[in-house]
Copies of this chain bind each other. A is one copy, B any other.
């Protein structure tokens, strides 16, 4: 495929992003928006047309009444997004405007290692490409549950991905699918997705926090995810919040050992078994919604809503701990918005109330005077959407 031909000129890059973000645009409007002459614009459009990225798209009538031919991204342009989690993989295909055409999710254990897991990803990609009638892809964006060197396209010392350290994920996918590929951390793509189409739409500086099995965050600064020196920025799961229990990282009392999804399940089960929570005991015996005898955030949230005192106390204690960490980060970063996402966010309003109360009390007034703390709007689809955005950002980047 020729889509990946680079380098793009700055004008080409700006043109491609504008068409992605706004849809078909008249040549007259492009001349104005890009600050180039008509002849130069025509040359750039021809160059992008020759590699299959843009096409003519009818004629518009401008305010002055003069018709001007429109340009659009090629209507057959397709992107794929892959969101690999610890225990599942989600794959989506999006069109040139990044509208999701189809999305599939399957259980998948990342610990099986890169070769079988990337084989699964390939199978799923082929499946959604076939069912959406997509002959080829312009670019693939992928997220993985660990630190990533974005520049090199490889996971770097990912704690829960044995066998993946520095595995050439980007180059391997690019080889198999013959298109540009980006690889990023899973929380980074969720934040990117939430900025594209969720509660953080268009916001340039915000803090995104995912509380799932583990806990991670992403700081979006100046409209871009801040990745840090080694790709590990946002790694807040190992901030010390208590004196125990011992974490896999070797330290005691890491945030995600005390209030991640796994910790919540452990504590809820203990409350059920000890008889301290009748509501949780009933769910454990009756079978949790997942039907596997495991209590999740959904169970705890439901028990708390029923007024179960032990479940309420569990949510409040966790919210205070997480809120304490967020209060420090809010002081340090002074963001315009905090977004809470991930499975534990299903605890819902009681969790949010406790987090808000802690942050508003404990952070400085200046940092909180105008600071919404909200739940993700996109939930599980934020990741694949963000992967589509990141893939197209890179494909449409200037040289």
User: Are B228 and A205 in contact (CB-based, < 8 A)?
Assistant: yes
Q: Which of A101-109, A236-244, A274-282, A374-382 makes up part of the contact surface? A: A236-244
Contacts of A75 in B (CB 8 A): none
Whether the pair A334, B370 counts as a contact (CB closer than 8 A) is no
B residues in contact with A222, CB < 8 Å = 222
Residue in B234, B329, B367 whose CB lies within 8 Å of A230: B367
The answer to whether the Cβ of A115 comes within 8 Å of any Cβ in the partner chain is: no
Whether B369 and A230, one on each chain, are in contact in the complex, defined by CB atoms closer than 8 angstroms, is yes
Q: With an 8 A cutoff between CB atoms, is A85 at the interface?
A: no
Task: Assess whether A399 is interfacial by the CB under 8 Å rule.
Answer: no
Alpha-carbon separation in the docked complex, A147 to B364 (Å): 11
A302 to B362, CA, bound (A): 36
Q: List residues of A (343-399) whose CB comes within 8 Å of B's CBs.
A: 361-367, 369-371
List B contacts of A332 (CB < 8 A): 217, 219, 233-236, 239, 329, 332
- Say how far A181's CB is from chain B's closest CB, in angstroms: 22
B-chain residues with CB within 8 Å of residue A333 when the two chains form the complex: 219, 226, 228, 233
Interchain CB contact under 8 A, B156 and A366? yes
Most buried by B among A217, A231, A232: A232
A205 touches B217 (CB 8 A): no
In the bound complex, what is the Cα–Cα distance between A364 and B156 (angstroms)? 12
> In chain A, residues 205-238, which have Cβ atoms closer than 8 Å to a Cβ of chain B?
205, 217, 219, 221-222, 226-236, 238
Say if the beta carbon of A331 comes within 8 Å of chain B.
Answer: yes
At the interface, yes or no: A143 with Cβ under 8 Å from chain B? no
A367 to B239 alpha-carbon distance, docked (Å) = 13
CB closest chain-B residue, reference A229: B336
B-contact 0/1 string along A133-157, CB 8 Å cutoff: 0000000000000010000000011
Q: Which among A227, A228, A329 has the greatest number of chain B C-beta atoms within 10 A?
A: A228
0/1 per residue, A1-41, Cβ < 8 Å to B? 00000000000000000000000000000000000000000
Whether a CB of chain B sits under 8 angstroms from the CB of A246 is: no
- With CB as the reference atom, state the residue of chain B lying closest to A147: B366
CB–CB B364/A232 < 8 A: yes
Is A290 close to B, CB under 8 A? no
Question: Is the pair B362, A235 in contact by a Cβ cutoff of 8 Å?
Answer: no
| Contact A221–B230 (Cβ < 8 Å) | no
- Chain B residues with CB under 8 A of A325: 328
A335 interface hit (Cβ, 8 Å):
yes
Taken together as a complex, chains A and B put the C-alpha atoms of A226 and B332 apart, in Å, by 10
Neighbouring B residues of A43 by C-beta, 8 Å: none
Residues in B neighbouring A251, C-beta threshold 8 A: 361-362
The complex places the Cα of A223 from the Cα of B283 at a distance, in Å, of 53
Instruction: Let me know if A233 and B362 touch, CB within 8 A.
Output: no
Residues A238 and B331 in contact in the complex (CB < 8 Å), given A222-B222, A249-B364: yes
* Residue A94 at the chain B interface, CB threshold 8 Å: no
A324 within 8 A of B: yes
A238 in contact with B334 (CB, 8 Å) = no
Question: Is there contact, CB below 8 Å, between B331 and A236?
Answer: yes
Contacts of A361 in B (CB 8 A): 251
With a cutoff of 8 Å between Cβ atoms, the chain B residues found around residue A328 in the complex are 236, 239-240, 325, 328
Q: What residues make up the interface of A, taking CB atoms closer than 8 Å to B?
A: 147, 156-157, 205, 217, 219, 221-222, 226-236, 238-240, 249, 251, 324-325, 327-329, 331-336, 361-367, 369-371
3 A-B pairs with least C-beta separation: A228-B334, A233-B334, A232-B366
Please name 19 further chain A to chain B contacts, defined as beta carbons within 8 Å, in addition to the given A235-B331, A239-B327, sorted by A numbering.
A157-B365, A205-B229, A217-B332, A221-B221, A227-B334, A228-B334, A230-B366, A230-B367, A232-B364, A232-B366, A233-B332, A233-B334, A234-B332, A236-B332, A238-B363, A239-B328, A239-B331, A240-B362, A329-B332
